[in-house]
Amino acid sequence: MKKPKVYKNFINGEWVKSHTGETFQNINPANTDDVVGIFQQSDDQDVDAAISAAAEAYKSWRLYPAPKRGEILYRVAQRLLKDKEEISRDMTREMGKVLAETRGDTQEAIDMTYYMAGEGRRSFGQTTPSEMTNKFCMSIRQPLGVCGMITPWNFPIAIPSWKMTPALVLGNTVVIKPATYTPLSVVNLVKAFEEEGLPPGVVNLVSGSGSSVGQPLMTDKRVGCVSFTGSTDIGRKISEACSPDFKHCHLEMGGKNCIIIMDDADLDLALEGSLWGAFGTTGQRCTASSRLIIHKKVYNKFTKMLVERAKALKVGNGLEDGIEMGPAISESQMNSVLEYMRIGEKEDGAKLLCGGGRLTGGAYDKGWFTQPTIFGDVEPGMRIFKEEIFGSVTDCIPVNDFDQAIEFANDCAYGLSASIYTQDVNRAFTAMRDVYTGIFYVNAPTIGAETHMPFGGTKHTGNGHREACTQSLEVFSEWKSVYIDFSGTNQRAQIDNQ
């Protein structure tokens, strides 16, 4: 086998080794003989150098005209489009999801980058009359400085682009720590910025673990904002680390998303949506459809249809034609999913309808493959009803009526995404209003968000912010209200105009 390539950190416009001299391997989860690359195992000194570079670059980048910043983004989007196939293949190799999906992931980064390129000529504030004579009011956005980003492995290039592009177009500089399972996709994104003329120090990449890179990044006083996507447990720690300095802190965390399937639903459509929502990306999406809440009148029929199709899903190496579901990202993730399968089997009343284990034999033995798994007769209170599994497992939950479906949908610590399949417009709108999530779909599964719509969730999914769309600009800027008095007199607001 070819010797794997060594990838470096990107600090102040240079690709450099970590001062630790240590590295880690990035392994293909579909074939553990395949080492995708060797990456730097960095520590706080590397983070310090990256933050210093970003702080220095900020001095001039914030003054660089916003439309010009947008033009760089525009060129980056074009380059990503040109390199889409190669980037997507690298991504399937390091992350495991099938090529059609990694192409989608890359496309999402392209869409986001084009969208934010346009913000270079917008970033609108308000102008408004003053209550005083000969006085003018406006609000403008100001950047925060150095933004720290800690990104996940399930959307290896899309999510970094959701964070980097709004931050950059607003005039911030960036230090990004990619997930250790998928650093190559972030290297590919950062390379596009480098090649399209982003000044040195504006974007810096430091690879390594959460404790040795993430921790110093989130606690450094020079960092004005931390944006994180990952688990709720880690998100809570980041929130605590940010709070002493009142850093902007954006958290995008867990989900336990549901599809409601009513008795009047187009069941064939609901079937396609449920399979895609539950097993797309091997269920490793924050938005995955991990609870299917099904009206009792169609419960038996629908679960039968679903199980039949789930059993027939083609699981394997995502680079091969015809494969519909890839592996889990890692051995530990696979073990955690297998553990949930055991937990589900032990739940009193729940029935394992299909799957329930690891796929073994032949090429499967080289990767972390799990069976598409469905539990039936799942009820509130069960762990598999409540906890995020992040794998190829979904629940079928029978309900008596619409009201119970809404109650069960909301019986959840998380609030990312939900959906309903129904032909009844009144029910669709009622569910849209009453299910408390950040994203809602009608006659579509819980996955498939578009970049020009706000992305994020309620309750333990987030801390009130949204990614993508113009809402993401709020994360990476502060408003400044500006009053210009051209009266030549000392006018006292609320007093002199009464």
By C-alpha distance, which of 282, 316, 281 is closest to 30?
316
20-28, 52-60, 298-306, 446-454 -> range binding ligand UN1 (CB under 6 A):
446-454
Specify whether the CB–CB gap between 9 and 309 falls below 8 A.
no
Query: Of 107 and 404, which has the nearer Cβ to ligand UN1?
Result: 107
Closest approach of ligand UN1 to the CB of residue 448, in Å: 5
Which positions ≥6 away from 133 have C-beta within 8 Å? 487, 491, 497
179 binds ligand UN1 (CB under 6 A): no
Q: For ligand UN1, give the closer residue by CB, 247 or 465.
A: 465
Should residue 57 be labelled a site residue for ligand UN1 when binding is judged by CB under 6 A?
Answer: no
Tokens describing residue 382? 């069960």
Tokens describing residue 358: 């690891």
Catalytic residue selected from 252, 324, 347, 388: 252
Site for ligand UN1 contains 155 (CB under 6 A): yes
Query: How many CB atoms sit inside 10 A of residue 199's CB?
Result: 15
Is 252 a catalytic site residue? yes
- Site for ligand UN1 (CB under 6 A): which residue of 447, 469, 473, 475? 447
CB of 106 to ligand UN1, least distance (A): 12
Number of H helices, E strands in the chain: 15, 21
154 touches ligand UN1 (CB under 6 A): yes
> 440: which 2 tokens?
């809602």
Using CB under 6 A as the binding rule, whether residue 460 contacts ligand UN1 is answered as no
In the bound state with ligand UN1, the residue whose beta carbon lies nearer, of 23 and 419, is: 419
User: Cα 51 vs. chain centroid, distance in angstroms?
Assistant: 23
- Whichever of 77 and 198 has its CB closer to ligand UN1, that residue is 77
| Residue from 242, 286, 396, 469 carrying the catalytic annotation | 286
Q: Would you give the end-to-end CA distance of the chain in angstroms?
A: 82
Which token pair is 322?
């015809």
Binding ligand UN1 (rule: CB under 6 A), the pick from 175, 187, 202, 286 is 286
C-alpha pair distances (Å), 355 with each of 221, 312, 322, 421, 463: 49, 11, 20, 25, 35
Torsion of CA 107, 109, 112, 118, to 10 degrees: -90
**Radius of gyration in angstroms for the set of CA atoms belonging to the chain, rounded to a whole number:** 24
54 token code pair: 């970003």
Which range, of 9-17, 230-238, 280-288, 349-357, touches ligand UN1 by CB under 6 A?
A: 280-288
Query: Per rule CB under 6 A, is residue 448 in the interface with ligand UN1?
Result: yes
Supply the DSSP symbol for 316. Answer: S
Cβ of residue 155: shortest distance to ligand UN1, in angstroms? 5
Name the residue whose CB lies closest to ligand UN1. Answer: 449
Q: What string marks each residue from 322 to 361 as x (binds ligand UN1 by CB under 6 A) or -?
A: ----------------------------------------
- In angstroms, the CA 367 to CA 476 distance is 39
- Asked if 111 is part of the footprint of ligand UN1 (rule: CB under 6 A), the reply reads no
Interaction of residue 94 with ligand UN1, rule CB under 6 A: no
Shortest distance in whole angstroms from residue 326 CB to ligand UN1: 15
Query: Applying CB under 6 A, which residues contact ligand UN1?
Result: 108, 154-155, 285-287, 447-449
List residues with catalytic annotation.
252, 286
